[in-house]
């Protein structure tokens, strides 16, 4: 399976944000999407997720040698600023997602098994999410995406609200689930991308470019990435 972006363009009034994004993301890999603040990383995610209408090009999926349109349920999106229904408890929110994905119920674990996986304490599971911290809400976002199990997962700065221990747990979890999925991890932290991701792509001046890692030591690779982000 591949997620194919064909010459994606997106403008806001007269500002060209995505000029010509042409790339194929492959199954079984975590991609680190790097870019300076304002480069258009979130805009690109919103175009892939069809929250924004593109001004040119298209997003599609190649599967078993055939091209098809993106379907509902193909994409999961973990937002940098988590949005959860705060009038529900964590358990109610999780059960709601399990109910609406009942066609996958044969592979579901119990709600408490999912909470254990995400290290959500027992006393927090039945609390209203309005009382959750930013990091807790982010955990719930991750959790419901594990339940939905989309083939493509967009992660917009998902680890910034976690402490060091939880962030390391989340990194290990992402590595475990990458098989059979396409994970695109947006961040401005170069070291995090190099540690977690199989491939590095840079969004710069509206163009997406892959940075090849072959035969490059860590410092040389960092310098190559910095140089790419500096290019005018």
pLDDT digits (tens, 9 = 90+) for 131-151: 999 889 989 999 999 899 999
pLDDT digits (tens, 9 = 90+) for 48-97: 999 999 999 999 999 998 999 999 899 999 988 888 999 999 999 999 99
List for the chain the helix, strand, coil content (%; round to 5): 40, 30, 35
> How many domains does the chain divide into?
1
- Give the CATH number for residue 50: 3.40.50.300
pTM listed for this prediction = 0.90
Asked whether residue 215 carries a pLDDT value surpassing 70, the answer given is no
Interval 20-47 mean pLDDT: 94
Alpha-carbon distance of 191 to 92, in angstroms, equals: 37
Please return the burial class of 215, using the count of CB atoms within 10 Å of its CB with bins 0-12, 13-18 and 19+: exposed
**7 SS3 class:** strand
pLDDT value at residue 114: 93
Structural contact between residues 203 and 41, judged by C-beta atoms closer than 8 angstroms: yes
Interval 7-29 mean pLDDT: 95
Domain of 35, in residue numbers: 2-230
Structural contact between residues 195 and 187, judged by C-beta atoms closer than 8 angstroms: no
């Amino acid at each position: 399976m591949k997620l194919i972006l064909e010459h994606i363009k997106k403008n806001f009034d007269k500002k060209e944000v995505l000029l010509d994004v042409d790339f194929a993301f492959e199954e079984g890999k975590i991609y680190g999407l790097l870019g300076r603040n304002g480069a258009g990383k979130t805009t690109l995610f919103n175009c892939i997720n069809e929250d924004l209408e593109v001004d040119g090009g298209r997003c599609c999926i190649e599967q078993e040698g055939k091209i098809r349109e993106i379907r509902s349920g193909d994409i999961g999106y973990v937002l940098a600023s988590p949005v959860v229904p705060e009038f529900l408890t964590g358990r109610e929110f999780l059960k709601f997602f399990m109910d609406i994905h009942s066609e996958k119920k044969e592979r579901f674990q119990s709600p408490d098994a999912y909470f254990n996986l995400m290290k959500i304490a027992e006393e927090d599971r039945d609390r209203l999410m309005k009382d959750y911290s930013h990091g807790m809400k982010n955990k719930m976002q991750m959790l419901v995406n594990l339940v939905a199990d989309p083939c493509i997962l967009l992660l917009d700065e998902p680890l910034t609200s976690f402490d060091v221990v939880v962030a390391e747990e989340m990194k290990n979890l992402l590595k475990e689930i990458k098989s059979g999925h396409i994970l695109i991890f947006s961040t401005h932290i170069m070291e995090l991308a190099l540690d977690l991701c199989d491939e590095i792509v840079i969004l710069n001046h509206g163009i997406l470019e892959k940075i090849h890692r072959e035969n490059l030591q860590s410092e040389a690779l960092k310098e190559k990435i910095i140089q790419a982000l500096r290019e005018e």
